Amino acid sequence: MTQLIGLAVIATLILNIFLAVALIFLERRDPTSTWAWLLVLFFIPIFGFFIYLLLGRQLREKHLFRWEGRSKIGIEKLIDYQIEAIEEDTLDFRLDDTAHYQDMIYLHLRNNHAVLTQDNDVQVFNDGEAKFEALIHDLEHAKDHIHFQYYILRLDHLGKRILDVLVHKAKQGVKVRVLFDDIGSRGLHKRHLRELTDHGGEVEAFFPATLPLINPRLNYRNHRKIVVIDGRIGYVGGFNVGDEYLGLNSKFGYWRDTHLRIEGSALHPLQTRFILDWNQASEKHDIEYAERYFPAIPRKGSVGMQIVSSGPDEEWEQIKDGYLKMIFIAKKYIYIQTPYFIPDISFLDALRIACLSGVDVRIMIPNKPDHMFVYWATYSNIGKLLKAGAKVYIYENGFLHTKQIVVDDELSTVGTANIDVRSFKLNFEINAFIYDREKSHELAELFEQDIQLSTELTYEAYLQRSRMIKIKESISRLLSPIL
């Protein structure tokens, strides 16, 4: 028996060495992530191996999202035109607010093929009741199609109410497609939406498990929230579908989030993103190009916008690059709201430099965790910026889930990407980058209203934290690259 135990120990050590070699020489990860996984492998020698198999393997599937119909929309030609026009300083900007940020627009054009649209009408929601009432109203008035994608879709009171509307529209002949993430919506299966499919609706799950309880792509999730109605109305932002997003969960209380309702030409790239995601997940119901999905849209407003997406299938971290560019551009202030603040060193350095350069950096985080290690890693990173002069606010009126940055009352972004390694590297995300003084000012005012519902965390108070909190921070900081 002793001999068998000894052989098992030796085999485990050998296996760990092989995995370590693979991590260092084959995976080609960044050094911080490599060290974090090495710690897991050597301090949890047996279970660490299985954790790595489930969560650690890199996504090998490049070019996941392909759609032949994309060339028929005209977006690619428009992108080429906009890149050339910015290079030659001939692009027609309808507002000075937009023209002022052409270097950032150029970044997203080259980095993400994110076309600039300048005719959008945008409505901001910071409350779940208002957002879902507006969404349900728009769903009820759909005439041709509904494309409905959420990371979390629960069939609780809110979910069933929305499902009833979707079924009703399918019965009327509206083409309804529902896409949900298999892990985010765990417990939900296609069979639970059979009433919708029985009436002509279509349902797909993103990266589903190949075997029960086994999902080799467990760590790579589609965190996007997209709704497109008739190719004319779109929604994107932080709210998922579930009663907790209406503030009905006693653990979290009121749910503070931000979501956008969009009308205008930004619907074309938003629709394209949904179709790419849908066709990747679809087993036999791929969407072919049709003009009905990309109707001519009359000018609705004057908000400039780019729809930017990112994911582990890409070489670069496009949304993080956009966040960093916003920090570099800032002259007066940077307002950040995020439920998780676990950035890499480049992001922390950029904010620290902004603070030391006299920019008013304000960061708002929740007062309660929905993931314990993530919360203490957030707390650890906040301490570094407090020392540099950042102002930090702990939101006390429930749970803060919004992913929002505002710079200088002119530039802002709202979407699904948190400020953490998971959103930057592992999840499939989507954000709207907004070049508009009025909308950015509106988002800044919401931030300032939230300050009244928050407690400021000073550097002096942070230094008084207990020894136990310091231990939790230290452990979480070590694991932060893989959280």
C-alpha separations of 369 from 58, 338, 400 in Å:
27, 12, 10
Which helix (H) or strand (E) element contains residue 433?
Answer: strand 429-435
Known active-site residue 223: yes
Half-sphere exposure of 132 (CA within 13 A, CB side): 23
Q: Which of 68, 142, 131, 30 is nearest to 424 (CA)?
A: 30
Which backbone phi and psi does 24 adopt, to 5 degrees? -80, -45
Q: Which single residue is written with the structure tokens 């509904």?
A: 146
How many whole angstroms separate alpha carbon 433 and alpha carbon 120?
Answer: 12
Contact assessment for residue 356 and residue 376, using Cβ atoms and an 8 Å cutoff: no
Q: Which of 163, 281, 297 is nearest to 222 (CA)?
A: 281
Query: 128-140 and 157-171 are packed helices; what angle lies between their axes, rounded to 10 degrees?
Result: 10
Query: Which residue among the candidates 145, 147, 401, 472 is catalytic per the annotation?
Result: 401
Strand partners, 180: 150, 205
Query: Which residue among the candidates 225, 259, 268, 320 is catalytic per the annotation?
Result: 225
Query: Which residue among the candidates 321, 408, 409, 420 is catalytic per the annotation?
Result: 408
Known active-site residue 225: yes
Known active-site residue 189: no
Known active-site residue 284: no
Query: Which residue among the candidates 138, 181, 230, 450 is catalytic per the annotation?
Result: 230
Q: Which of 362, 480, 370 is nearest to 425 (CA)?
A: 480
Known active-site residue 190: no
Query: Which residue among the candidates 223, 259, 439, 472 is catalytic per the annotation?
Result: 223
How many whole angstroms separate alpha carbon 367 and alpha carbon 455?
Answer: 9
3-state secondary structure 249-302: CCCCCCEEEEEEEEECCCHHHHHHHHHHHHHHHCCCCCCCCCHHHCCCCCCCCC
Angle (CA) 232 237 241, round 5°: 95
Strand partners, 363: 336, 392
Half-sphere exposure of 384 (CA within 13 A, CB side): 18
Query: Which residue among the candidates 147, 169, 403, 439 is catalytic per the annotation?
Result: 403
Angle (CA) 306 117 338, round 5°: 25
Half-sphere exposure of 123 (CA within 13 A, CB side): 14
Known active-site residue 143: no
Residue numbers annotated as active site: 223, 225, 230, 401, 403, 408
